[in-house]
Amino acid sequence: MSPQQIDVPHFTLNTGAKLPAVGLGCWMGYPGGGEDCENMAKTAIKLGYRHIDTAAGYGNEEHVGKAIRESGVPRSEIFLVTKLNNKDHGRVAEAFQESLDRLGCEYIDLYLMHWPQAQNPDATDPRHDGSCEGKILTPDQSPTYVETWQAMEKLLDTGKVKAIGVSNFSIKTLEVLLPQAKVVPAANQVQLHPCLPSFDLLAYCAEKGIHVTAYTPLGRKDSPFFSDDTIKSISEKHEITVAQVLLSWGVQRGTSVIPKSVQEERLKSNFTLVKLDDEDMQAIDNVHKKPGLHRQLLVSPIIDTVNGTVWGWTHEQLGWNLDNAGYWKS
């Protein structure tokens, strides 16, 4: 059947700002990727993307900013997101200004705390050697993520950031943060896809007025979705790609999505959403119930599948109901 294409919608944040539902994720799989990232962003903007997501830790803010400036699209029409690095939790104001300078713009639409974990600023990046030992502060060591958030709240008074939010926060960490926050996070960016649908977290954030953005919405390169019979049958039914099925599902369930591709055709198709029917949505909602599929899909040096830690914190400290290998605990 011919797909029923829909325009990319916008979600309204608790600040009143409008966030385009499909954005461009600028993590290149490794820190940097300068020119490739810049060309990708330029192509995406040309195709109509108006939501660009980067981070200090991605090492490509300068190239993202250049792509925006040279796009010919007014800055006011682009929703720009960047993130606070783990090593900068104790110097929020300075780190924010450094991101602003690298981006070469006057303001940021949404500034996120990338992870609740604070890194010892004098330690080497754990991604370089895969070791977090002695480099990551424990949840009760200062600056805690509550203290970091309180410093982020002060950024709003500068007029240089329109909204602030968090990333990789669970119900557990939000339950600690919110009672001590003057400002409710505008967004929480987390890993979301049919293997990790996180229904409870979505419901919790909706109740608190926190928008949820899905990173890794397509899984990784060897994602199980591209061979899954359920998702493949829906893509064939609507004559669309598997990626379009996943992104359309993500947006229809109320989350924004930030896929990445350096290939123009994939950028174009990723930006083309379709209307999935209720039967499709329910079928994708249940994919995680298949044997071995209820799990996280990230692969990174900062993930220790032997000890069950991410950036030096256990899954329990993060509030993630996962076993050491990253599978959901029933």
327 DSSP assignment? B
Tell me: the pLDDT tens digits for 185-244?
A: 999 999 999 999 999 999 999 999 999 999 999 998 789 999 999 999 999 999 999 999
Tell me: the pLDDT tens digits for 231-275?
A: 999 999 999 999 999 999 999 999 999 999 999 999 999 999 999
**Coil/strand/helix, residue 126:** helix
Q: Looking at residue 129, what is its pLDDT? A: 64
Q: Where are the beta strands (DSSP E) in 57-169?
A: 79-84, 108-113, 161-167
Check whether 133 has a pLDDT greater than 90.
no
Rounded Cα gap, residues 311 and 242, in angstroms: 31
Tell me: the pLDDT tens digits for 84-107?
A: 999 999 999 999 999 999 999 999
Q: Looking at residue 126, what is its pLDDT? A: 72
Rounded Cα gap, residues 80 and 66, in angstroms: 13
Check whether 128 has a pLDDT greater than 70.
no
Question: Would you put residue 297 in left (φ > 0), alpha (ψ -120 to 50) or beta?
Answer: alpha
Crossing angle for the helix pair 92-103 and 145-155, nearest 10 degrees?
50
DSSP bridge pairs for 273: 6
Phi and psi at residue 291, to the nearest 5°: -55, 130
Token pair listed for 79: 């929703």
Crossing angle for the helix pair 229-238 and 242-252, nearest 10 degrees?
90
How confident is residue 33, by pLDDT bands cut at 50, 70 and 90?
Answer: confident
How confident is residue 3, by pLDDT bands cut at 50, 70 and 90?
Answer: low
Rounded Cα gap, residues 111 and 97, in angstroms: 11
Residue entry with tokens 């979505």: 202
> For the chain, how are helix, strand and coil distributed in percent, rounded to 5?
40, 20, 45
**Coil/strand/helix, residue 123:** coil
Tell me: the pLDDT tens digits for 264-312?
A: 999 999 999 999 999 999 999 999 999 999 999 998 888 999 999 999 9
How confident is residue 6, by pLDDT bands cut at 50, 70 and 90?
Answer: confident
The CB density around residue 281, as the number of other CB atoms within 10 Å, is 15
136 DSSP assignment? B
Rounded Cα gap, residues 291 and 78, in angstroms: 41
pTM summary value: 0.96
Q: Looking at residue 300, what is its pLDDT? A: 85
The CB density around residue 169, as the number of other CB atoms within 10 Å, is 27
Token pair listed for 118: 């604070």
Rounded Cα gap, residues 25 and 22, in angstroms: 10
The amino acid sitting at 22 is: V
Rounded Cα gap, residues 7 and 279, in angstroms: 21
Contact predicate 148/169, CB 8 Å: no
Q: Which residues are catalytic?
A: 58
